[in-house]
Amino acid sequence: MEGPRPNPRAYRIYLVNYEELARKLRALDDPGQWLPIISVGSGALIPFLQEVERLLHNFLAAAFTLSSTINAAAPRLWAEAAESSSSQFRGAKCGTCGGSNTS
């Protein structure tokens, strides 16, 4: 029976959400963009903060989804990797002592 697999789509969605949030926050690096946002009476601060809140929510939701898919698939993948590496070296001769690994 096939177990859970890592989801490349979850990683892509995580990256897209990260980039959108980072792009929005980079506006604060440019005084030409953030001065109009914070100027008194402009009315732009609340919509800016609401958009940042929305993007932060999307980013955190994507991070949680990615974490959940990794945590669901990791034990099986680690077990497969351990079995693969141990079978690869079973019966191999030790270069130092000349003994063999038969376990």
Q: Provide the 8-state DSSP code for 27.
A: G
User: Considering the domain boundaries, does residue 47 fall inside one?
Assistant: yes
Please list, in sequence order, all residues whose beta carbon lies within 8 angstroms of the beta carbon of residue 34, skipping any fewer than 6 positions away.
Answer: 27, 28
Structural domain total, the chain: 1
User: Considering the domain boundaries, does residue 102 fall inside one?
Assistant: no
CA end-to-end distance (rounded Å), the chain? 26
Segments forming the whole domain that contains residue 63: 8-89
Q: What is the pLDDT of residues 17-63, one digit of tens each?
A: 999 999 999 999 999 998 998 888 889 999 999 999 999 999 999 99
| pTM, 2 dp | 0.66
For the chain, the C-alpha Rg in angstroms (whole number) is 25
User: Considering the domain boundaries, does residue 39 fall inside one?
Assistant: yes
Q: What is the pLDDT of residues 59-89, one digit of tens each?
A: 999 999 999 888 887 787 778 777 776 666 5
User: Considering the domain boundaries, does residue 101 fall inside one?
Assistant: no
What is the rounded CA–CA span in Å between residue 78 and residue 89? 17
CB atoms under 10 Å from CB of 55, counted, come to 19
